[in-house]
Structure 1
Amino acid sequence: MFRIVATLARGAAAQACEDLADRHALPLLDQQIREAAAALDGSRRALAAALVQERTDADRHAALAARLADLEERAVAALRGNRDDLAGEAAEAIAGIEAEIRDLDAARAAFSREVAALRRTVREGARQIAELERGRRIAQAAEAARRLRDRRGAALPGTEAALAEAQATLRRLRERQAAEAACADALAAIEAEAGADVADRLEAAGFGRRTRPDRDGVMARLRARAAA
């Protein structure tokens, strides 16, 4: 029985942890991204220091190679001048420099491999953080949409009925306004027709400017053209 109770307690604790992580998933993701970015920044600084060391080793190698070439030239000159003692001292120094160059070459080769690996780590880390940032923005937008749906679903009782009543009122208002506009258009048309009828009767009686062609007007136009 004790084992069952202990197992249930561990299960409840694990479930509670999962529920807590789910409820705070976005803040948790933000913190994890910040920690990963801080670690990546440390890797970048380490890479920068490694590149500086690599250049320092290259400069040292070049200096040793120049010193070696100078000593060899002087040793050959000493041999030509029958100064085997000085040539021997130069040979001993040359051997030491060659050993130092050999050790430095081995160290530089190993260090170059480490720098290459560090470059790959920084490049991959930057890519993964960029992907996490994109995923975080998408998740944030989805969470905002979910909260909006939850708020809409948790509307106060009666909200839907009130919205339906408001929509019905708006519909009736639009219908009344449309009917009033139709009546106004009809009245305007009637008034226009009445005004046109009066104008036509006045024109037929010979008052005012003629707006319609008649026989006398057409004949006058034709005679003018014939005379021209």
Structure 2
Amino acid sequence: MSVWGKLFSAVRGGINEAAESAADGQALRILDQEIRDAEGALRQARGDLAGIMATAKSLGRRVDEARLKDEKDLASARAAMAAGREDLARQLADRMSRNRADLARDEAELQRLQGSQAQMLRAVQDTETRIQTMRREVESVKANESLLKAQSAIASSHAGVNSRLGSAMESLERVKRRQEAVAGRLEAGAELQALQSGADLDRQLLEAGIGGNRSSSDDIFAEIARGDAPKSLPGGTGNPAIGYEPKS
């Protein structure tokens, strides 16, 4: 592959990575919006379910009342027949027929509502579970994303600190080398000055006991014991000590 081909592939790969990164960045926002939409639909479903449950309860009460009325009319019709009032029994039978027709219709409707209610209740519960699961996953992804960003920042900061520490150590070493060089030049200058003035040679002669007018305490004591005339002090005039008379 030519250099231009490799460069084009690299640029195209960078564009794809940027596009994927942008899409990944929007993914969490899209999921959040989808969860909000699902929660809105769930609230609507709960409202519809509450309406169905209220209608079913009302219809159930009506069915119970119709059953009680049918039982009461049946007992009354039997009592009318026992009393020889067939006409009353006939009227009760007509009312019971209409009541049972309404009762059958209401029972069928109640059964349908109860089936819808059970189906919608399962759907609502399943949707709630799915929303909770999705929200936990989104929160986990967000937490991981934040953790990765923090780790990346720490790694970058650590690398920067290491780089700065390396530069600081190099500067410290340069300062130490410069100080050593300056100290060496100062020491060499002092030695050169001593050699030029002869002070170093005098110091070495004195240390070797050669030359000079210094006398030890032992030398002075021996001089006193011998009765020698006092010596002139270095740089003095040679005057004798008090009470000394020169020989004739």
What TM-score, normalized to structure 1? 0.59
- Is it true that 1:92 corresponds to 2:94 in the alignment? yes
Q: Deviation digits for residues 11-55 of structure 1, max 9, x if unmatched?
A: xxxx99976542211222111111111111221222222222221
Between the aligned partners of 2:46 and 2:82, the Cα distance in structure 1 is 54
1:7-18 mapped onto 2 (5 Å cutoff): none
Between the aligned partners of 1:167 and 1:72, the Cα distance in structure 2 is 108
Of 120, 129, 152, the residue aligned with 1:118 is: 120
- Relative distance call for 1:16 and 1:80 in structure 2 (3 A) is farther
The offset of 1:112, in angstroms, is 1.3
Larger fraction in helix: 1
Greater relative contact order structure (CA < 8 Å, 6+ sep): 1
Aligned residues: 155
1:155-166 mapped onto 2 (5 Å cutoff): 159-164=161-166
**Identity between Structure 1 and Structure 2 (%):** 25
Aligned residue identity for 1:121: A
Between the aligned partners of 2:99 and 2:132, the Cα distance in structure 1 is 48
- Is it true that 1:104 corresponds to 2:99 in the alignment? no
- Relative distance call for 1:73 and 1:28 in structure 2 (3 A) is same
1:50-61 mapped onto 2 (5 Å cutoff): 50-61=52-63
The offset of 1:127, in angstroms, is 0.7
**Would you say the 8 A contact 1:75–1:91 is kept in 2?**
yes
Of 143, 147, 159, the residue aligned with 1:141 is: 143
**Would you say the 8 A contact 1:64–1:101 is kept in 2?**
yes
The offset of 1:157, in angstroms, is 9.3
The offset of 1:93, in angstroms, is 0.7
> RMSD over aligned Cα, in angstroms?
3.1
* Structure 2 alignment gaps of length 5 or more: 1-16, 172-248
User: Which residue is 1:67 aligned to?
Assistant: 69
- Is it true that 1:41 corresponds to 2:43 in the alignment? yes
- Relative distance call for 1:39 and 1:163 in structure 2 (3 A) is farther
The offset of 1:152, in angstroms, is 5.0
User: Which residue is 2:32 aligned to?
Assistant: 30
Between the aligned partners of 2:147 and 2:170, the Cα distance in structure 1 is 29
**Would you say the 8 A contact 1:21–1:28 is kept in 2?**
no
Larger radius of gyration: 2
1:179-194 mapped onto 2 (5 Å cutoff): none
User: Which residue is 2:84 aligned to?
Assistant: 82
- Relative distance call for 1:16 and 1:92 in structure 2 (3 A) is farther
* Structure 1 alignment gaps of length 5 or more: 1-14, 170-228
Between the aligned partners of 1:83 and 1:69, the Cα distance in structure 2 is 19
